[in-house]
Amino acid sequence: MSLPLGPWRLTYTPGQWLVLAGPRLVAIRPRAPPKMSVLVNQLWTDMQAAGSLASLLEVLRGYSLDQMPDFAAFVWDGGSLHGLARGRISVVDMATGQTALDGAGALTWHEAPLGTIRGLRVDMGVLEYDALLHLPLVVGAVGASALHLTTDPDQLVRLPDAEHQFPEPVVQQPQPVSEPLQPVSMPETQQMAAAHSEDSQFQRPGAGYADEPQQYGPVGIGVQVNTGEFANVVGGLVVGRAPDAARGPMGSSLMRVPSPGNDISRSHLLIEPAGPSDARVTDLRSTNGTTIQLNGEEPYLLENGESVTVPIGTVLNLGDGVSLRVEQAR
C-alpha cells in the first residue's frame, strides 16, 4: 500500500513572493535579493528541523521574520493544520469562499487552527485565481503569487509501493575524536608536480579563482580527518556537523564530522582542488571559523566567507577537537 509523501498537496502560481516548502512546513515572505541566497538556504534547512508550531515560531523569531510586514507560515502539528499570517497575505476556504485567516492589522501575526478545512487558497495580492497557471510543489523554494493547499486524502502525493522504493542511503557515522593532526611538508614527488603548476602558489585569504577551469595532473588531493576518515576531493567537499550539498558547487560531496559542543557549523567549510597538489579552502560563514596551520608557519583564522589556497600537508582545525589535513589522493 502506498504512503502519502506528506499531510498535504501544494500547487503554486509563479510570482514574486518567496515560498519555502517542506513535507510539513510552508513559509511565505516577500522575495529576497540574490545576496541573501545563503541565508535563505539556511532558513529552509532550519525550518525542516522544526517539528512543531512552537519550534517553528522559535526559528522564525531567530531570523527576525516576526518583524517583517508581510509573512505567513503553515505547519502540520499534532495531526492538524495550523496557520499564521501577517500583512498582505490572506487565506481563503476554497469550499465556502470565506476568509479563514487574514494577516491584515496584525501587530505580530494572526494565528488560526485550520485542521477542518480540506482546501485553502493563500492569496498574496488580487488575482484571477482560476485563470492562472498552477504548478506542483513538494519540497523546495519557488517564486509565487498564490498558493493552493489541500489535505484531501484523495489528492495527496503518494510514494511508490515498498518493493519499488529506493533504498535508504547509508550514512557513515562520525568516529570519536582522536589526537589533532600536525602539518607536514609535501613529499618530493608532489613538490616536483607543484613546481610545474602556475596555481601552486600559496594565497592568503581574499585570493580568487582563475576564470577558466584548470586541468591538473595525476597528483590529486584528499582530506584526512583525525577521527580516521579519509575522502578524495574531486569536485567540492562540504565539511560540517550536518553538511548541505547546496552550500558547494553542483555535485559536491559531504563530510560529516562530530561536534559535541556544536562549535562546528552545520556547513562549516568547503574544500576544492586548486592544482595538482593544492586545495582551495573556503569558510562557509561558519560561527567560529577555521584555523589554518601550514608547516613551519604561524596559524591564522579563516572566517567571514574568506578563501585561501593551501598545499598538501596543511592542517585545518575546525574546533571541538576536529582537525583535517590536506593529503595526496588515494
119 within 8 A of 128, measured Cβ to Cβ: no
pLDDT at 317: 93
pLDDT at 146: 87
pLDDT along the chain (330 residues), means of 10: 73 89 87 82 83 80 79 84 88 89 83 82 70 82 89 76 50 53 54 41 37 44 90 90 88 88 91 87 92 88 91 92 91
Angle formed by the axes of helices 37-48 and 53-62, to 10°?
A: 160
CB within 8 Å of 323: residues ≥ 6 apart: 180, 181, 225, 226, 315, 316, 317
Architecture of domain 188-328: Sandwich (2.60)
For the full predicted model, state whether its pTM sits above 0.85: no
pLDDT at 33: 80
179-191 CB burial, b ≥16 within 10 A, e <16: eebebeebeeebe
Q: How many CA atoms lie within 13 A of 297 on its CB side?
A: 18
pLDDT at 3: 67
* Domain residue spans of the chain: 9-155, 188-328
pLDDT at 202: 36
Identify the three-state secondary structure at position 66.
Answer: helix
Q: Which residue has the cell 576536529?
A: 322
Q: Where are the alpha helices (DSSP H) in the chain?
A: 37-48, 53-62, 188-195
